[in-house]
Amino acid sequence: MTERKFESRALAVPSSRLSRLAKLGGLGATLAGSVAAGGARQLARGAKPNMSELLMTPANARKVADKLAQMRGAAMKVGQLMSMDAGDMLPPELADILARLRAEAHHMPGPQLKKVLTAAWGPDWLNRFQKFEVRPIAAASIGQVHRAQTRDGRDLAIKVQYPGVRRSIDSDVDNVAGLMRLAGMVPKEIDIAPMIAEAKRQLHEEADYEREGKYLDLFGQLLADRPEFRVPELHADLTTREVLAMSFLEGQPIEVLEAAPQDERDRVMRLIIELIFSELFTFQLMQTDPNFANFRYDRATGRIILLDFGATRAFDTAFAERYRALLRAGLAGDHTGIRRAAREIGFLSDGMPAALEEAMLGMFLMSLEPLRHAGDFDFGANDLALRMRDAGMAMSEQRAHMRIPPMDTLFLQRKFGGVYLLATKMRARVNLRALIEPHL
């Protein structure tokens, strides 16, 4: 774990289901009141009220972001994912407000923190430490991180889970999904039940810090011969389901590279993209959370620090082979092979109108442009992201016929999309074809 400048204020986490439901219920009532007032104003002007526009105003988006940041837990996590997946589809002022959820969280006040640690380690836990910093160095949706030194000389980062997170996951996800439906951010025609079930499953896994510790240790072993990467070392004697202890690693947010020389930005993004391909095709094990905060950078050594393995997902050999077939066909321009592989993976479904199928295939070919490009692809000097956004919005007109792909595919695409956004932010130049061909 790395240290960074972190500003937040102490605010107790509502830990009972009733208190969390009350907060979301209060938010729903506030939004409903805002819509009613706005609708009345539009009617008074002789205009027909637009529900989506009335709900997704900057003021309402700020209310949603503030409330989810106060609640933390699964409610905030779903809001973060919503901001990442829908950010490019929203007006910039709304996207900026929701993006705060990816960077900001309040932290537990001291008494609440002490109660959580006493439950995990016993009443005499402080005797095990020479120093324990009460103010966290980072806070996120499910937990916050503290720096500590043990009496036997270990320099640690301690991730402490917010109280009540695990038992409130199912109700939080259901309630936030209801708010998203209300706000019109999820088309009525799309069945999101599989996504809701998967979100609950994944969040239950992320809330199990013993499970995350095992993957932290496994990735450390998998990358032991890759000195370009560093993974914190697990300290199992201090790890429980609610507390994860790992070595503290000095570093900075990956975004500091935006001002770095071109060759340094290119090298780092080449390593990150190469790692993604290795996770899919070699390890068949991927950390699927696309949050930029999961990458840190040690400027002194040029090493990339990898964090947060709660969202680690295993892929079976058949899944990896289907993607190999899809990429082989894409690189070869084999449209028949692309269609067959895309259907096997779940991008295309039975009963999909021919026009929509052709549009999705066209969008997939568009996404392959960086891989098919000869030599270095310049992420900072192309309009691919805009063209894909336009293509996606055009397809949304046929959303009644669209289906959510299998969950493995969805999480993999989210990770690919996150890395693509990071490469664009870095204005990196990377020869992707040279990186992917050894895996095909």
User: What amino acid positions are annotated as catalytic residues?
Assistant: 289
- Give, rounded to a whole angstrom, the gap between the first and last alpha carbons of the chain: 34
Pairwise CA distance, residues 92 & 58, whole Å: 10
Are residues 183 and 31 in contact, defined by beta-carbon separation less than 8 angstroms?
yes
Q: How many residues does the chain have?
A: 440
